[in-house]
Amino acid sequence: MTGRFWRFYEKANDVVRTFTGPADIGAGHPEGPDIRPADPACPMCGRPMSEHRIERTADSRTSTRFYCPER
Ligand SMILES: [Zn+2]
């Protein structure tokens, strides 16, 4: 799995992390207050993050899914 799709996937994961915070295992270093914009725009579609749907599963092996709103 290489190329454009993978880049998209990585980007989507960055977005998810921005929105949901780091994984439960922590970042491996002291973390300061996590200050974020109240409603950042999605770098992929430009819509507010609050319009997006994020699915997190209890199964830590299943990646978080992130959905842009339909236009
Ligand atoms: Zn989006």
Ligand 1 centroid to Cα of residue 69, in Å, is: 6
Could you give the number of structural domains in the chain?
Answer: 1
Highest mean pLDDT among 3-7, 19-23, 66-70: 66-70
Between the CA of 6 and the centroid of ligand 1 the distance, in Å, is 16
Domain that holds residue 65: 41-71
Q: What distance in angstroms lies between residue 67's CA and the mean position of ligand 1's atoms? A: 7
Mean pLDDT of the chain: 78
The confidence band for 6, taking pLDDT boundaries of 50, 70 and 90, is confident
Q: Cα(47) to centroid of ligand 1, in Å?
A: 6
CA trace torsion 6, 46, 65, 14 (10° rounding)? 60
Ligand 1 geometric centre to CA of 32 (Å): 27
Asked, for residue 53, whether it belongs to a domain, the answer is yes
Q: How far is CA 26 from CA 21, 22, 35, 66, in A?
A: 10, 6, 16, 21
In this structure, is residue 12 part of a structural domain? no
Cα-based torsion angle of the residue sequence 71, 41, 3, 20 in order, rounded to the nearest 10 degrees: -110
Q: Which residues pair with 41 in a beta bridge?
A: 48
